[in-house]
A and B are shown apart, each in its own frame.
Chain A
Amino acid sequence: MSADTVTTSTRGLQGRVVVERGEFRLDVEIDVRPGEVLAVIGPNGAGKSTLLRAICGLTPLTDGAISLGGAVLDDPAADVLVPAARRGVGVVFQEYRLFPHLSVLDNVAFGPRSAGRSKAQSRTDAAEWVARLRLDDLAQRSPERLSGGQQQRTALARALASGPGVLLLDEPLAALDAATRIDVRRDLSTHLAQFAGPTVIVTHDALDALVLADRIVVLEDGRITQQGTALEVARRPASDYVAKLLGLNLLRGEAADGEVTVDGGGLLHVPDHAMTGPVLVALRPSGIALHTAQPEGSARNVWPGVVDGVEPLGERVRVSVTGAPSVLVDVTPGAVADLHVAPGDAVWLSAKATELEVYPG
């Protein structure tokens, strides 16, 4: 094996994506390694979907270049444009876009069939993915008769069955209701971990980004305003928008018997008793209550701490508290005035077990 092929095999999805459409200009550098999951978050109209369309070949670049595994996909300067059908991208679209005239199995078999395999062979290939995503019982069903979570898994199976070199997911959980979302998100994180190529997820949900991705890119008005690991971005938000969106307490720890021992100190009661081993616990700053004295109430989690920062954030005030564990708490400006909290003050925190979401870490 030559040195060149070694470097090529470690190359993932790279490039500078420039797309101009009227007044709007998207201009971002991307570099996603094989096996890495990159989350692109940002407000509506920031250019997230345009970025995905450019990568999968549905929107040509105005400038810049994109390569996958060292092979150029789009390079306007060199007049290279590989069409979507020959890029080997797996896309899970927003609203999934399942083919309504095909069964679950034939939806999944669409990729293998397009690759030139026989009808029987493509169905055999598809059946494997259908089984892997626990859709066996639904294989003959029409997509219209699936629940949101089942549609999402079908879309993921269809994208993976074509053996893509890169996986792209556009708001993969946005169409689901809150209750289903937790399970599907957990499920998705397992499948993403098994995918060997680079993965890009577009989302406007902070939790998706924090739980599913290794690295986060914040896209605002066509440009990257911040990037880093999930924890870095959540801890040091570069703008109010990021702070609001990603101001989420994400704690690493070990779970056992409905309790999580947090790395760095602290014990939290969680709703999920089945989970054991390393986990991530997500806790929204608005899900924690702040008290000046030890509270008496039904909250399962109560712990003391010291205020180390108070920062206004739109209609809320974000209070940073050091304790076991250290967390961010969002309160109303009125509450801050009533409680007289200032840096250095001793406070008590409380959170109901149901406010905590646990993911395999």
Chain B
Amino acid sequence: MSSRDRSVTSPPWPVAVPAGLALLFLGLPILALLVKAPWDRMWSVLTSETSLQALRLSLETASAATAVAFVVGVPLAWVLARAEFPGRRLARALVTVPLVLPPVVGGIALLLAFGRRGLVGQYLDSCCGITLPFTTPGVVVAEAFVAMPFLVITVEGALRGLDTKLEDAAATLGATRLAVFRRVTLPLILPSLAAGAVLAFARALGEFGATITFAGNLPGVTQTLPLAVYVGLEGDPSEAVALSLVLLAVSVIVLVALRDRWLRTGAAS
């Protein structure tokens, strides 16, 4: 690049300096995590009973929460994008609430709804003997609560952006509305479905506030990876750092998956 080109594309220093600081601010903690990690003890920490237990529980609950979000979230996205009904705007706003709500508050709200004496929980307990708080299904509920909006919003956006021309064509060929959804709409928004699911999974995996409030912190039952990191900080900080690296690795994988596959192809289609 010649100096002439640079004079056009390079930012003036009042912009460049704060921009550089911002980048440093975002990058330095990640660097610190990598530098200070107990690389020599890494394998033994990660294969310890507590770590493996937390990791397995995290993967299981995050997968379950993603599945729950998928099964009910995709239909919700369709309804929000396509159906006309009173209160649709209110419903859309409701979907975004868990996105901005502090997760701890979400956990308390879940307790008040599904707790043993909660709005719904008391009946679940008395009629079916189901208790959610402080159980593994409770973790799934907490994670689904915070993760589902990511999926719904991603899929709803894709459905809104989708030209209805192909769906109209399918209808004239005799396909019922359900068949159109299954055989035309879903395949066309596949990239966004995957992106939404990956985002929801990442969010569920990192869930802390709502989980600890609603499901507690019982090793092997509700102690997921982020909770194990938190506990580790008080006992064995190097263990906390090692587990944090696992979560960082997952985040990087998600980022790469979204960048190279879903986001770009989604934008192109």
Contacts and interface: CB of A to CB of B under 8 A. Distances in A.
Interface of A: 56-58, 83-91, 93, 95, 97, 99-101, 110-111, 113-115, 158-159, 162
Given A100-B188, A162-B173, 19 more contacts: A56-B172, A58-B168, A58-B171, A85-B171, A85-B175, A89-B172, A90-B172, A91-B172, A97-B166, A97-B169, A99-B169, A99-B170, A99-B184, A110-B183, A111-B173, A113-B183, A114-B175, A114-B179, A162-B174
B171 A158 contact: no
Chief secondary structure at chain B's binding surface: helix
B168 A84 contact: yes
B173 A110 contact: yes
Interface residues of B, number: 18
A162 B187 CA distance: 21
Interface string B175-187: 1110100011001
A158 B173 contact: yes
A85 B169 contact: no
Nearest to B269: A100
B187 A101 contact: yes
B188 A93 contact: no
Interface in B180-238: 183-184, 187-188, 190
A95 B165 CA distance: 10
Best-surrounded residue of B165, B174, B183, B190 (most CB of chain A within 10 A): B174
A57 B176 CA distance: 13
A84 B187 contact: no
Nearest to A108: B173
Contact of B169 (A83, A86, A91): A91
Interface of B: 165-166, 168-177, 179, 183-184, 187-188, 190
Given A101-B187, A101-B188, A85 B166 contact: no
A80 B113 CA distance: 46
A99 B166 contact: yes
18 contacts: A57-B172, A58-B168, A58-B172, A84-B172, A85-B172, A85-B174, A89-B172, A97-B165, A99-B166, A100-B166, A101-B187, A111-B173, A111-B174, A113-B183, A114-B170, A114-B179, A115-B174, A158-B173
Given A100-B188, A101-B187, A101-B188, A93 B165 contact: yes
Nearest to B188: A101
Contacts of A86: 174
B11 to A, nearest CB: 40
A115 to B, nearest CB: 6
Contacts of A85: 171-177
In order of increasing CB-CB distance, the 6 nearest A-B pairs are A114-B174, A97-B169, A84-B171, A114-B175, A111-B173, A101-B187
Contacts of A110: 170, 173, 175, 183
A90 B173 CA distance: 7
Contacts of A111: 173-174
A85 B167 CA distance: 11
B134 to A, nearest CB: 45
Best-surrounded residue of A56, A83, A84 (most CB of chain B within 10 A): A84
Contacts of A95: 165
Contacts of B179: 114
B110 to A, nearest CB: 39
